[in-house]
Structure 1
Amino acid sequence: MADTEPRTPTVIADDVHVVYKVHGSGAARGSATAALSRIARRKSTARPTATEVHAVRGVSFIAYKGEAIGLIGSNGSGKSTLLKAIAGLQPVTEGKIYSHGQPSLLGVNAALMNDLTGERNVILGGLAMGMTRRQIRDRYDEIVDFSGINEKGDFIGLPMRTYSSGMGARLRFAIAAAKNHDVLMIDEALATGDARFQRRSQARIEELRKEAGTVFLVSHGIGTIRETCDRAIWLEHGVLRMDGPTEEVCDAYEAFTKG
């Protein structure tokens, strides 16, 4: 007998548009050009120019409990902006996003306190996700072991500013993965670890799918998407080009990039 149990939606995107403005000339903040531009602006009464960016253009989809969805596309295609909109961190200009529970966005630049130790950040990060102090204590060793940052010394007792970008990203992922989420969105975090960490991460994503809800994964590594996700959404210039089984969407995207 076929399984007729209805699937549970976790995220519904209904004709979503995201438009935002970028101010200034775009020169790097610390460059000489940027410094001269700021001096010139102080001497001028003219208002700084603003460029309007239409980052997401009419995207619609439904995500279901138990899915791992990979977001693929060229740089600047709107993947990270879409995740921020789902998480409620980026206003939607048009359309609607509906979500079950509170989506959690994990990125390699997720905010932890650089001047505090890794140990303190584990506690603060857990509290920020809604875990109790007891839950954090119970899972503390598991979080540290999962991150692997203590494999070459007692780094968990050092300030986060002494960590490499990879160590920091692994700790962020370990903290986020310690809690079950209705919707967990991961932006490039898996790209920062070695093969062993990536295998642990993929296994944990499988557990999250079974225990909780939906996982979204943004990665420039198509291999990671193929290995981790059962569905893929391809964005290009903010437009949803394709949505379907991972192999089909990734094959089409790779053919597009080679063409």
Structure 2
Amino acid sequence: MAEERKTPTVVADGVHITYTVHGGAHPGGRGNATAALGRMLRRGRTAPAGRRVHAVRGVSFVAYRGEAIGLIGSNGSGKSTLLKAIAGLQPVSAGQVYTQGRPSLLGVNAALMNDLTGERNVLLGGLAMGMSRTEVRERYDGIVDFSGINEKDDAISRPMRTYSSGMGARLRFSIAAAKSHDVLLIDEALSTGDARFRRRSQRRIDELRAEAGTVFLVSHSNSTITETCERALWLEAGTLRMDGPAKEVVAAYEEFTAKPEARTPSKQDIAG
């Protein structure tokens, strides 16, 4: 294991990520019908200048095989944007991101559809995660049992739009965790308020690490980070403030957020 842990799986080298926000929408967001109509009406006109956001600022780190790494920081600190860059879904403005194998971003690869039943979404999500139909059928019962969404009623047969946010998050994680990953990126999927599911998830993350994978976990729950991860990266206003043992990084972050000035939103992430 000592040799395996020295094998890099993700290298971020001076990564900067900037993007432009038009009309208050976040890049990659679907927007709404009004926004879409506005874009259609503006075609052929000069687009108004947007707000330039410098979301990630010169971040560098190396992740190794077998690690579980937590990402912490205030809202808007660049955590989710950095995960998308590692997954290859967000271009970097400067620097480089190198990955070994195929990173899987939970909730994107398992692109579930609200109008389909949970059962159909297990098949769709499994195929999106790279499983064959045969593999999905073989793992179907385990996925549903792991999610726990069928314990009170036959929820798996209902459309996902009838699920609570926690039920949807549990099903997404269960689909993603049904196979091994070179790099698994989890963004807030374990914040369901279900203690039993969190324990099952933490055990599964340990198994994924033992199978020579690397897990990145974004969570606003500091206890989830310290219980699940051995290492943490603290991002604040797009910069990497600290990289080290999870308990030490979380303690430093909690001390920082306890200061009155830390509660004031920073504007330094907005450029030009």
Per-residue CA distance 1:152-185 (angstroms, 9 max, x = gap): 1111111111111111111000000001000001
**2:22 corresponds to which residue?**
23
**1:128 corresponds to which residue?**
128
2:102 aligned counterpart, secondary structure: coil
Shift of 1:108: 8.9
Shift of 1:203: 0.5
Question: Relative to structure 1, is the Cα distance of residues 108 and 135 closer, same or farther in structure 2, using a 3 angstrom cutoff?
Answer: closer
Per-residue CA distance 1:61-112 (angstroms, 9 max, x = gap): 0000000000000000000000000000100110000001110011499631
**2:200 corresponds to which residue?**
200
What is the letter of the counterpart of residue 156 of structure 2?
A: I
**1:61 corresponds to which residue?**
61
**1:77 corresponds to which residue?**
77
Instruction: State the alpha-carbon separation in 2 of the partners of residues 5 and 130 from structure 1.
Output: 24
Question: Relative to structure 1, is the Cα distance of residues 179 and 5 closer, same or farther in structure 2, using a 3 angstrom cutoff?
Answer: closer
What is the letter of the counterpart of residue 119 of structure 2?
A: E
Answer yes or no: is the 8 Å Cα contact 1:70–1:229 preserved in 2.
yes
1:227 aligned counterpart, secondary structure: helix
Instruction: State the alpha-carbon separation in 2 of the partners of residues 6 and 179 from structure 1.
Output: 21
**1:143 corresponds to which residue?**
143
Shift of 1:47: 3.2
What is the letter of the counterpart of residue 115 of structure 2?
A: D
Percent identical residues: 73
Query: Which 4+ stretches in 1 moved above 6 angstroms?
Result: none
2:191 aligned counterpart, secondary structure: helix
**2:267 corresponds to which residue?**
none
1:7 corresponds to 2:9 = no
Answer yes or no: is the 8 Å Cα contact 1:108–1:189 preserved in 2.
no
**1:179 corresponds to which residue?**
179
**1:91 corresponds to which residue?**
91
2:11 aligned counterpart, secondary structure: strand
Instruction: State the alpha-carbon separation in 2 of the partners of residues 239 and 254 from structure 1.
Output: 17
TM-score scaled by length of structure 2: 0.86
**2:270 corresponds to which residue?**
none
**2:189 corresponds to which residue?**
189
Shift of 1:193: 4.2
Shift of 1:48: 2.1
1:190 aligned counterpart, secondary structure: coil
Shift of 1:49: 2.7
What is the letter of the counterpart of residue 245 of structure 2?
A: P
Instruction: State the alpha-carbon separation in 1 of the partners of residues 199 and 158 from structure 2.
Output: 26
RMSD over aligned CA atoms reads 2.4
Answer yes or no: is the 8 Å Cα contact 1:107–1:188 preserved in 2.
no
1:53 aligned counterpart, secondary structure: strand
Question: Relative to structure 1, is the Cα distance of residues 50 and 110 closer, same or farther in structure 2, using a 3 angstrom cutoff?
Answer: farther
Superposed, which structure 2 residues align to 1:150-165 within 5 Å?
A: 150-165=150-165
TM-score scaled by length of structure 1: 0.90
**2:233 corresponds to which residue?**
233
Answer yes or no: is the 8 Å Cα contact 2:56–2:81 preserved in 1.
yes
Instruction: State the alpha-carbon separation in 2 of the partners of residues 149 and 131 from structure 1.
Output: 22
* Number of residue pairs aligned between Structure 1 and Structure 2: 251
Instruction: State the alpha-carbon separation in 2 of the partners of residues 110 and 165 from structure 1.
Output: 15
Unmatched segments (≥5 aa) in structure 1: none
Shift of 1:139: 0.8
Question: Relative to structure 1, is the Cα distance of residues 150 and 58 closer, same or farther in structure 2, using a 3 angstrom cutoff?
Answer: same
Instruction: State the alpha-carbon separation in 1 of the partners of residues 128 and 108 from structure 2.
Output: 17
Instruction: State the alpha-carbon separation in 2 of the partners of residues 70 and 9 from structure 1.
Output: 17
